Amino acid sequence: MKPVNHKAWFLVAPVLLLVAISAIIPLMTVVNYSVQYVGSTGRFAWVGDEWYREVLHSEKFWNALWRNLVFSGVILAIQIPLGVLIALNMPRKGWGVPTCLVLMALPLLIPWYVVGMIWQMFGRVDIGLMGVMLRDFGYNYEGDPMDAWFTLILMDVWHWTSLVALLAYAGLVSIPDAYYQAARIDGASKWAVFRFIQLPRLGRVLTIAILLRFMDSFMIFTEPFAVIAGGDPVFLSTELKQTVELGKKAAMSIIYFLIILAVSWVFYAVMTRNDGEPTSADKARGGGA
């Protein structure tokens, strides 16, 4: 057990100070704006929850929220199984391991705006490799919203599937060999090994992957902005950026932030669930993750 030491606060103080400036003051300004009306002369007037009601009755807000949820749902449905499939087939030893890790991680380290730019250059029907190839099938992401959706989803799969694959791979290599030996003795099929050994042991990393991918896709702004410059589909962050009235913008920010806060709580619960448990207990517990 960790000793209780309230003096540890001194060690945390710098972080607290810095993040307070970075987070609390801006957040308070947003709260402040969200309950007031700012006139053209810069005068403030108290309006209570009016902005919140306006946001919650705004069709644009709900549309953006739904689009965001659909987007997150679709990319999770593609990236999670695809990531696991790739991780299962990645080499376990030899030169293939570092090659796979390095090449797969590459998209994760590209500035987000450049990711969008790459896909713009790749997808444009006049100069893009994919755009020119698909042009004859009527593909044009600048004109057709469905094609824009297709491009954005493909881009996100390209950008982030590696994260799922790398997390799943880290989970897979940590499975002790004894499990597989036991399965071989039982004559378990490949599917049985996956279903009853690998998948349960991957439970924790996959939960982390799902939450991370949900969060980041729920906040997506830069990559679609680079590809379609604020056109359709409009996601929540885009809608927020395009809202002009300060009060409405602030109220929308707060609602947005509360949704994120709720998901963060789930995330926190998952992340710290196994903290502080000795690893031997983890092993002794058997197949369940």
Partner 1 sequence: MKQSRFAWIVPALYILFLMTPIYWLVAMSFKTNVEITTRFTLLPEALTLDNYAKVFGDERWRSVFANSLMYVSLNTLISLAVALPAAYAFSRYKFFGDKHLFFWLLTNRMAPAAVFALPFFQLYYKFGLFDTHIAVALAHCLFNVPLAVWILEGFMSGVPREIDETAYVDGHSFPSFFTRIFMPLIASGIGVAAFFCFMFSWVEYLIADALSRNAVVPITTRLQALSQASGTDWGVLAAAGSLTLIPGAIVIWFVRNYIAKGFALGRV
The closest alpha carbon to 152, from 221, 65, 77, belongs to 221
| 287 contacts partner 1 (rule: CB under 8 A) | no
Site for partner 1 in 151-170 (CB under 8 A): 158, 161-163, 165-167, 169-170
Which member of 212, 231, 245, 289 binds partner 1 (CB under 8 A)? 212
Collapsed DSSP state (helix, strand, coil) of residue 46: strand
Which is it for the CA torsion 140, 145, 148, 150, positive or negative? negative
Binding of residue 80 to partner 1 (CB under 8 A):
no
Question: Of residues 35, 64, 141, 171, which one binds partner 1 by CB under 8 A?
Answer: 171
DSSP alpha helix (H) spans, 106-176: 112-123, 129-135, 145-173
- The least distance separating partner 1 from the CB of residue 50, rounded to whole angstroms, comes to 20
- Report angle CA 48, 49, 53 to the nearest 5 degrees: 150
Nearer CB in complex with partner 1: 27/74: 27
- Residue 26 binds partner 1, judged by CB under 8 A: yes
Q: How far apart (Å, rounded) are the C-alpha atoms in residues 162 and 79?
A: 9
Helix (H, G, I), strand (E, B) or coil at 258: helix
Per-residue binder mask for partner 1 (CB under 8 A), 124-153, x = binder: --xxxxx-x---------------------
Q: Are 79 and 160 in contact (CB under 8 A)?
A: yes
41 binding partner 1? (CB under 8 A): no
Residues 213-272 that bind partner 1 (CB under 8 A): 215, 218-219, 221-222, 226, 229, 236-237, 240-241, 249, 253, 256-257, 260-261, 263-265, 267-268, 271-272
Which 51-70 residues touch partner 1, going by CB under 8 A?
none
167 within 8 A of 208, measured Cβ to Cβ: yes
Please tell me the count of residues contacting partner 1 according to CB under 8 A: 101
Token pair 């190839």 is at which residue?
133
Which CB sits closer to partner 1, 140 or 264?
A: 264
Q: Which is nearer to partner 1, 149 or 221 (CB)?
A: 221
The verdict on whether omega for the bond into residue 200 sits within 30 degrees of 0, i.e. cis, is: no
Nearer CB in complex with partner 1: 74/208: 208
* Look-up of token digits 């919650």: 56
Is the C-alpha dihedral spanning 267, 269, 273, 275 positive or negative?
A: positive
Contacts to partner 1 from residues 96-115, by CB under 8 A? 96, 98, 100-114
